[in-house]
Amino acid sequence: MQSNVFTAVFMPLALGVIMLGLGLGLTLEDFRRVVVYPRAVFVGLLCQTVLLPLACYGIAKGFALPPELAVGLMLLAASPGGATANLFSHLAKGDVALNITLTATNSILSLFTLPLIVNLSLEAFMGTEKSIPLQFDKVIQVFAVVLVPVGIGMLVRAKRPSVSERLQKPVKITSAVFLVLIIVAAVLKERANLVTFFRQVGLAALVFNLASMGLGYVVPLLVRLPKRQATAIGMEIGIHNGTLAIAIASAPTLLNNSTMAIPPAIYSLIMFFTAAAFGSIVARTNEEAAPAAEAEQPKAA
């Protein structure tokens, strides 16, 4: 019963608070930047929705992960970035405006791409003739939990900017606490199998994390995007919304499978260290590139 209350009530509430915090930092202008950065946004979305799931599938197969853990890793690959990616991008001197645009766009696209990728993963790894569906009503639930709080946060910022400024810090702190609690709860629920799960999926999660960050950084450089934009995309692709993946995996109204929540939980722990290391490496070159990038920006009228 406690577990049901936690997964059915606390996790959606926690996710709602986290998404509200994201919305408090967004404006409609962030969405208009899709027009300003069409190539960068396209590259970021290509990495997130096509290249990343393919890489994740290859890693899951290569490590011969048990089916439920493989689906859990694929669920993570299908999840968008979040506020944490924006924060790490800022610290690494990345293009935070692009980061926010990618976060907003990915959040909306994931409403459609996430169920598709999860269903294909269930078929591929669990051998079901008919995948366990994230039915339309379940998609609506994800929509309500993810996008409605973001919309409320954006509305507060637009109508009451001073209130938004005051709320951002406590909401970020609350979000961080919720994230820790959700990870701890997912780990505790499977504590008897934790060593086994870490042995089975820990290295795969690390490799997937490094591959995600590397893919998100190298592909933009290959198409000659600026380093600051490559950093933003690298952080967006490498720092997934583990909370969303854990909530979808564990919630009784969605996948209701705590084993599938283990890869996102382990990944969420690993990514903070790898993102910090990656950020420290690229920050210096981005700092040197910033003046030239600012000189190229159009002057305000």
Residue carrying the six token digits 């490496």: 281
Query: Do residues 149 and 247 touch, judged by C-beta distance below 8 A?
Result: no
Judged against a pLDDT cut of 60, whether residue 52 lies above it is answered with yes
Residue pair 209/73 in contact (Cβ under 8 Å)? The answer is no
CA–CA separation, 66 and 285 (whole Å) = 41
Judge whether 121 lies within some domain: yes
Per mean pLDDT, which of 14-18, 50-54, 291-295 is the most reliable? 50-54
* Residue of 199 and 84 predicted with greater confidence: 199
Integer distance in angstroms from the first to the last C-alpha of the chain? 60
For the stretch 94-129, pLDDT in tens is: 887 788 788 778 877 877 788 888 888 888 888 764
Q: Which residue has the higher pLDDT, 27 or 239?
A: 239
Q: How does the average pLDDT of the chain come out, rounded?
A: 78
Pairwise pLDDT comparison (127 vs 210), residue with the higher score: 210
- Is 107 a member of any domain? yes
222-240 pLDDT, tens digit per residue, is: 999 988 899 999 999 998 8
Domain assignment of residue 297, yes or no:
no
Instruction: Using alpha carbons, list the distances in angstroms from residue 179 to 81, 190, 198.
Output: 14, 17, 19
Say what the pLDDT of residue 57 is.
95
**Residue pair 45/219 in contact by the 8 Å Cβ criterion:** no
291 located within any domain: no
Give the CATH number for residue 23: 1.20.1530.20
Q: Does 180 or 130 have the greater pLDDT score?
A: 180
Phi, psi values for residue 127, rounded to 5° = 65, 25
Number of domain units in the chain: 1
> Long-range contacts: 158-161, Cβ < 8 Å, 24+?
158/27, 158/28
pLDDT tens by residue, 118-160: 888 888 888 764 444 554 555 566 566 667 887 888 888 888 8
- 255 phi and psi angles, rounded to 5 deg: -80, -30
Does residue 216 belong to any structural domain of this protein? Answer: yes
SS3 assignment, position 123:
helix
- Give the residue from 294, 242, 230 showing the smallest Cα distance to 268: 242
Q: Is the dihedral of CA 145, 121, 73, 39 positive or negative?
A: negative
pLDDT at 183: 64
Measure the CA–CA gap between 49 and 261, rounded to whole angstroms: 20
Query: 243: domain range?
Result: 2-286
Look at residue 231 and tell me if it is in a domain: yes
pLDDT in tens, 4-19: 555 556 666 776 777 7
Sign for the CA dihedral angle at 67, 252, 110, 235 comes to negative
pLDDT at 90: 78
As a whole number, mean pLDDT of residues 280-289 equals 73
Using the structure block, give the residue that is written with the tokens 């969405």. 31
Asked if residue 113 is part of any domain, the answer here is yes
Q: Which residue has the higher pLDDT, 267 or 129?
A: 267
| 188 in a structural domain | yes
pLDDT at 73 > cutoff 60: yes
